[in-house]
C-alpha cells in the first residue's frame, strides 16, 4: 500500500527507525560513527532526502551519508502482487516534514523527521548522575537533587525544558555558612620542654572559605611564629574537620634587686609564673635594713625592680657652751644623712662665737650628718672688737655721699668682708679708688670699711610716629633726659611726648604724639548755586558734589588746570566749577501762517526782534508764550526749549467790500463801532 510514516529513536548505541505503530526497529547508524575528531565531544547532525535516500551530515559539513533507501519504506505487495506503487519523488517541506510523491501521482506527508539528543546530568566532580536520550525540542527529566557535604543544592547549570543538542548539565551548589571548624591554642610549659593545650575555640564559617586563626592574648605568653606545628590558615572542610593550631612561648621575666643608692645587688631571670629568692641585704653605715619594697617573690607575672628599704639611724648631738651663757636646749636629735638643724648661736660676754666643733671639725646647720654615732660639740670663741661699714651712693653730679652706716663686731684678728648691698638703681662700683671692702678686726675697734655704689645708666630713645629714632641719650638713675627739638609731621601738629622722662628708672622709649590737622575745602561755583565749605582731617578723601547753574551744563571741578572728581585734602584748597552754556531753541509756531525758522538762544539772552509771520486773510496779532504776550525785548530765562505761538486777527465786523474784476478787493463802507479796525492785507485771497 502507500508508504508509512516512520519514527526515529536512539537505542543500544544506534539511531534506529521503525514504521509508526510497528514494534520492529532497524538500526540506521551507530552513535559512535557520529563523533567528532578524537577526544572531541559528539557533534550535532542534520538530515535530508536526496537521490532516493534519507541522508545525514554533521552540521556545517558538506559530506552527506545515506541512511536508508526510501524505496524500502513501501508497504507489502497487493493481493495480486501488482497493486504497489513506487516513489517517484521525495522532499522536505518548509516545516521540516517529509513529503513523498508516488507513481500514481499522489502525495503523502510522512510528518517530521525526529532526531534525539543525549543529556548527561553530572555532579560538581563530573560524576555522571544520569544519562537520558531526549527527542529534539523535548524536555529532559532531572534526577533527584544530589547531596554534597558542606553545601546546599542550588540548581542545574543549564535549562533542559527544550533540548536542541546534546547537553552536559552540571549540578550547582551554595556553600553552607555554618560549617564547623576548631582552633587549638597551646601554651609552653614553665620548663619550656613541652606545650599544653590551653583553649579550644569551636567556630563556624563558609565551606571551603579560607580562614585565619585569631591570635589571642594570653598574659605571660607570646605567639611562637616560627613553630613548625603552627597551622594558622586553612580552608574550611565540608565535613567540619578543619583544625587550626597556634603555639605560644612562655615569657622570660627579669627581677632585679637594688640596695641603698640604687646599687644593683642581684639579677634573676625566670619564666612567667616562676619564683625568685631575695638576696641577703648588705649592711649600710648609718642605716638599718627594713625589708624589701615588694615582698611578692612567688608566681611572678611581670618583670620588676625590688629595692631594699633602709631607715636612717637617729643620733644625738650634745652641746657644751665652753664658758658661754647657758642654753635652753643642749641636746638635738639628727638622722644620719640628713641636714643638721636647730644649732643655736651661743653668747659670751666679750667674745665672738666662731663655731661648734669636735676635734677641730666644724658642725653647722645645713651640714649633712655623716657620723654614725652620738657626738659632743664644743663652742669655739674668740675675743671680739667693733668695726664700721660705710655705704656711699653716687649723686647725679658724679660725687658720692654716705647713704648708710653699719656698726658691727667680730673676732679680733679675723678678716671680714663688707656686705655688698643690692640697691634699686645702683651697682657696686668695684673700680672706685676709695673702696675698702675687707680688713682685719683690730682690738682698738678702728677698722672702717667703705663701699661705693654708682648709679645705673639707662638708655632713653626719643622715637617718631614711624619708629624713626630722633635721639638716644644715656641717663643715670633718677636723672632727667633732654628731649630733642619738637619733630614735624606732614598734616599733623606735634602735641606732646608719650611718657614723662624727668626721673628715669629704666630703659625707656619716648614716642612723639601728634594731633591731626584740619583743612578747608572751598567751592567756587563760578555763578552756580553756592556750596558751603567742608572742614576735614588731613588726607581725607572727599568725593566732590555736583553744583547747579541755570542754563549751564557742569563740566567738572578744576584744580591746578585739571578736572577732578575727588581729592585727598592735604591743605586749605579752593576748587572752581567749570560750565558750558546750553543752547535752547525758541520754536515759532505760526498757527497756520507761513513757516519760520526757530531762534537759538541761551539762558539770559535778550531777544530784541522776532520775525513777523503772514497768513492769508489775517493780520498778525503778536507772539505769545504759555498764553501770555511776548513783549520785546524779551529776556530768555527758561532752562528748556520753548514755543512761541502766533496770534491772528481777521477782518473787523461792519466792513463791507467788493471784488474788483476778480483781481482785487475794494473797501466800500464801515458800519461798526470800533475805533480801530483791522483790515488784513488780503481778503478772500485777493489784495
Q: How do residues 463-483 score in pLDDT, each as one tens digit? A: 999 999 999 999 999 999 999
Judged on CB neighbours under 10 Å (0-12, 13-18, 19+), 106 is exposed
pLDDT at site 240: 93
Write out pLDDT tens, residues 564-579: 999 999 999 999 999 9
DSSP one-letter code for 73: G
Say yes or no: 244 and 266 in one domain: no
In a domain, 483, yes or no: yes
In a domain, 471, yes or no: yes
pLDDT of 6 over the 70 cut: no
Q: What is the mean pLDDT of residues 314-342?
A: 95
In a domain, 644, yes or no: yes
Contact 556, 530 (CB under 8 A): no
Contact 166, 42 (CB under 8 A): yes
Least confident of 7-21, 203-217, 481-495, 594-608: 7-21
Write out pLDDT tens, residues 54-106: 776 666 666 777 776 666 655 444 444 445 566 777 776 766 677 778 788 88
Q: What is the mean pLDDT of residues 13-35?
A: 70
In a domain, 682, yes or no: no
Distance CA 510, CA 463 (A): 6
| Residue 16 binned pLDDT confidence (cut-offs 50, 70, 90) | confident
| Residue 145 binned pLDDT confidence (cut-offs 50, 70, 90) | very high
Say yes or no: 461 and 444 in one domain: no
CATH of the domain at 276: 2.60.40.4270
Say yes or no: 85 and 163 in one domain: no
pLDDT at site 60: 60
Last residue of a domain, one of 439, 455, 471: 455
Say yes or no: 378 and 392 in one domain: yes
pLDDT of 683 over the 90 cut: no
Give the number of domains in the chain.
Answer: 8
Distance CA 559, CA 577 (A): 9
pLDDT of 37 over the 70 cut: no
pLDDT of 40 over the 50 cut: no
Least confident of 30-39, 540-549, 643-652: 30-39
Quickly count: other Cβ atoms within 10 Å of residue 328's Cβ: 5
Say yes or no: 190 and 222 in one domain: yes
Q: Whats the size of the chain, residue-wise?
A: 687
CATH of the domain at 196: 3.10.20
pLDDT of 669 over the 80 cut: no
Q: pTM for the full model?
A: 0.41
Backbone angles phi, psi at 424, to 5 degrees: -60, 125
508 Cβ contact partners less than 8 Å away, ≥ 6 residues apart:
458, 459, 460, 461, 481, 499, 501
Contact 15, 8 (CB under 8 A): yes
Contact 43, 165 (CB under 8 A): no
| Residue 659 binned pLDDT confidence (cut-offs 50, 70, 90) | confident
Say yes or no: 345 and 413 in one domain: yes
Name the average pLDDT for the chain: 89
Question: Residue 279 to residues 35, 307, 611, 647: CA-CA distances in angstroms?
Answer: 93, 11, 144, 145
Q: What is the mean pLDDT of residues 19-33?
A: 71
Distance CA 474, CA 633 (A): 88
pLDDT of 519 over the 50 cut: yes
Q: What is the mean pLDDT of residues 369-391?
A: 95
Say yes or no: 100 and 21 in one domain: yes
Write out pLDDT tens, residues 597-654: 999 999 999 999 999 999 988 889 899 999 999 999 999 998 999 999 999 988 777 7
In a domain, 413, yes or no: yes
287 Cβ contact partners less than 8 Å away, ≥ 6 residues apart:
260, 310, 311, 312, 313, 336, 337
Q: Which residue has the higher pLDDT, 460 or 672?
A: 460
| Residue 50 binned pLDDT confidence (cut-offs 50, 70, 90) | low
Say yes or no: 443 and 377 in one domain: yes
Last residue of a domain, one of 114, 131, 151: 114
Distance CA 569, CA 341 (A): 80
Choose among 641, 565, 652, 559: nearest CA to 603.
Answer: 641
pLDDT at site 26: 81
Last residue of a domain, one of 208, 232, 250: 250
pLDDT of 427 over the 80 cut: yes
pLDDT at site 25: 77
Say yes or no: 318 and 352 in one domain: yes
Say yes or no: 500 and 554 in one domain: no
Least confident of 107-121, 145-159, 310-324: 107-121
Q: Is 90 helix (H, G, I), strand (E, B) or coil?
A: strand
Provide the domain limits for residue 588: 583-650
Q: Quick one: what percent of the chain has pLDDT higher than 90?
A: 74
Instruction: For residue 473, give the C-alpha cell.
Output: 641719650
pLDDT at site 24: 81
Give first-to-last CA distance, the chain, whole Å.
142
Contact 194, 202 (CB under 8 A): no
Half-sphere exposure for 527 (CA within 13 Å, toward CB): 12
Contact 382, 411 (CB under 8 A): yes
182 Cβ contact partners less than 8 Å away, ≥ 6 residues apart:
200, 201, 202, 203, 242, 243, 244
Q: What is the mean pLDDT of residues 311-336?
A: 96
Quickly count: other Cβ atoms within 10 Å of residue 359's Cβ: 6
pLDDT of 5 over the 80 cut: no
Write out pLDDT tens, residues 167-209: 999 999 999 999 999 999 999 998 889 999 999 999 999 999 9
In a domain, 636, yes or no: yes
Say yes or no: 261 and 374 in one domain: no
Parallel, antiparallel or unpaired: strands 264-271 and 331-335:
unpaired
In a domain, 307, yes or no: yes
Parallel, antiparallel or unpaired: strands 573-581 and 518-524:
parallel
Q: Quick one: what percent of the chain has pLDDT higher than 70?
A: 89
In a domain, 685, yes or no: no
Task: Map grid coordinates 549751564 to a residue.
Answer: 552
Question: Residue 607 to residues 319, 373, 602, 635: CA-CA distances in angstroms?
Answer: 136, 139, 10, 6
Q: What is the mean pLDDT of residues 316-335?
A: 95
Task: Please list the residues that pair with 574 across neighbouring strands.
Answer: 522
pLDDT at site 78: 44
Distance CA 418, CA 192 (A): 77
Say yes or no: 587 and 576 in one domain: no
Instruction: For residue 584, give the C-alpha cell.
Output: 535752547
What one-character-per-residue DSSP string does 283-306 give?
P-TTEEEEEES----SS--S-EEE
Q: What is the largest CA-CA distance in the chain?
A: 191
Instruction: For residue 613, give the C-alpha cell.
Output: 509771520
Amino acid at each position: 500500500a502507500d508508504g508509512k510514516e516512520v519514527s526515529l529513536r536512539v537505542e543500544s548505541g544506534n539511531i534506529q527507525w521503525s514504521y509508526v505503530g510497528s514494534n520492529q526497529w532497524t538500526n540506521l547508524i551507530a552513535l559512535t560513527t557520529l563523533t567528532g575528531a578524537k577526544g572531541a565531544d559528539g557533534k550535532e547532525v542534520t538530515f535530508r532526502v536526496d537521490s532516493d535516500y534519507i541522508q545525514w551530515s554533521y552540521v556545517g559539513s558538506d559530506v552527506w551519508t545515506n541512511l536508508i533507501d526510501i524505496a524500502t519504506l513501501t508497504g507489502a505487495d497487493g493481493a495480486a502482487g501488482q497493486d504497489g506503487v513506487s516513489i517517484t519523488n521525495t522532499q522536505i517541506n518548509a516545516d521540516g516534514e517529509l513529503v513523498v510523491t508516488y507513481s500514481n501521482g499522489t502525495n503523502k506527508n510522512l510528518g517530521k523527521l525526529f532526531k534525539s539528543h543525549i543529556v548527561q546530568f553530572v555532579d560538581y566532580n563530573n560524576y555522571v548522575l544520569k544519562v537520558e536520550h531526549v527527542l529534539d525540542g523535548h524536555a529532559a527529566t532531572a534526577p533527584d537533587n544530589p547531596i554534597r557535604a558542606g553545601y546546599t543544592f542550588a540548581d542545574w547549570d543549564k535549562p533542559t525544558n527544550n533540548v536542541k543538542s546534546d547537553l552536559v548539565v552540571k549540578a550547582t551548589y551554595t556553600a553552607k555558612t555554618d560549617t564547623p571548624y576548631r582552633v587549638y591554642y597551646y601554651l609552653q610549659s614553665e620548663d619550656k620542654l613541652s606545650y599544653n593545650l590551653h583553649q579550644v575555640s569551636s567556630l563556624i564559617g563558609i565551606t571551603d572559605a579560607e580562614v585565619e586563626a585569631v591570635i589571642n592574648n594570653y598574659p605571660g605568653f607570646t605567639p611562637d611564629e616560627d613553630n613548625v606545628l603552627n597551622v594558622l590558615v586553612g580552608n574550611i572542610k565540608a565535613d567540619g574537620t578543619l583544625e587550626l593550631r597556634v603555639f605560644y612561648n612562655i615569657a622570660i621575666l627579669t627581677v632585679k634587686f637594688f640596695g641603698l643608692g640604687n646599687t644593683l645587688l642581684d639579677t634573676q631571670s625566670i619564666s612567667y609564673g616562676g619564683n625568685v629568692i631575695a638576696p641577703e641585704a648588705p649592711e649600710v653605715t648609718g642605716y638599718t635594713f627594713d625589708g624589701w619594697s615588694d615582698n611578692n617573690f612567688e608566681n611572678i607575672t611581670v618583670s620588676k625592680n625590688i629595692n631594699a628599704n633602709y631607715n636612717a639611724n637617729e643620733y644625738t648631738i650634745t652641746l657644751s657652751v665652753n664658758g658661754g651663757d647657758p642654753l635652753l636646749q643642749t641636746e638635738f636629735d639628727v638622722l644620719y644623712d640628713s641636714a643638721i638643724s636647730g644649732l643655736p648661736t651661743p653668747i659670751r660676754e666679750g667674745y665672738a662665737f666662731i663655731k661648734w666643733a669636735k676635734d677641730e671639725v666644724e658642725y653647722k646647720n645645713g651640714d649633712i650628718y655623716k657620723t654614725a654615732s652620738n657626738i659632743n660639740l664644743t663652742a669655739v670663741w674668740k675675743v671680739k672688737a667693733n668695726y664700721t661699714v660705710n655705704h656711699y651712693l653716687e649723686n647725679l653730679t658724679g660725687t658720692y655721699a654716705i647713704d648708710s652706716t653699719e656698726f658691727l663686731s667680730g673676732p679680733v684678728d679675723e678678716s671680714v668682708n663688707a656686705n655688698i648691698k643690692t640697691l634699686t638703681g645702683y651697682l657696686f662700683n668695684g673700680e672706685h679708688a676709695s673702696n675698702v671692702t675687707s680688713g682685719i678686726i683690730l682690738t682698738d675697734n678702728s677698722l672702717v670699711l667703705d663701699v661705693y655704689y654708682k648709679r645705673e645708666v639707662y638708655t632713653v630713645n626719643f622715637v617718631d610716629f614711624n619708629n624713626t629714632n630722633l635721639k638716644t641719650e644715656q641717663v643715670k638713675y633718677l636723672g632727667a633726659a633732654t628731649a630733642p627739638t619738637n619733630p614735624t609731621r606732614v598734616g599733623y601738629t606735634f602735641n606732646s611726648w608719650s611718657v614723662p622722662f624727668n626721673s628715669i628708672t629704666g630703659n625707656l622709649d619716648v614716642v612723639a604724639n601728634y594731633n591731626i590737622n584740619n583743612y578747608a575745602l572751598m567751592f567756587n561755583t563760578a555763578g552756580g548755586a553756592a556750596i558751603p565749605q567742608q572742614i576735614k582731617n588731613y588726607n581725607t578723601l572727599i568725593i566732590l558734589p555736583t553744583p547747579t547753574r541755570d542754563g549751564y551744563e557742569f563740566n567738572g571741578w578744576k584744580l591746578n588746570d585739571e578736572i577732578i572728581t575727588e581729592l585727598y585734602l592735604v591743605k586749605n584748597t579752593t576748587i572752581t566749577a567749570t560750565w558750558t552754556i546750553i543752547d535752547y531753541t525758541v520754536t515759532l509756531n505760526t498757527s497756520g501762517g507761513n513757516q519760520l525758522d526757530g531762534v537759538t538762544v541761551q539762558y539770559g539772552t535778550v531777544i530784541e526782534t522776532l520775525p513777523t509771520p503772514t497768513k492769508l486773510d489775517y493780520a498778525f496779532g503778536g507772539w505769545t508764550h504759555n498764553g501770555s504776550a511776548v513783549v520785546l525785548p524779551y529776556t530768555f530765562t527758561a532752562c528748556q526749549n520753548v514755543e512761541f505761538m502766533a496770534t491772528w486777527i481777521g477782518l473787523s465786523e461792519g466792513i463791507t467790500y467788493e471784488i474788483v474784476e476778480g483781481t482785487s478787493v475794494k473797501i466800500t463802507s464801515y458800519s461798526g463801532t470800533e475805533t480801530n479796525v483791522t483790515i488784513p492785507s488780503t481778503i478772500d485771497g485777493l489784495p
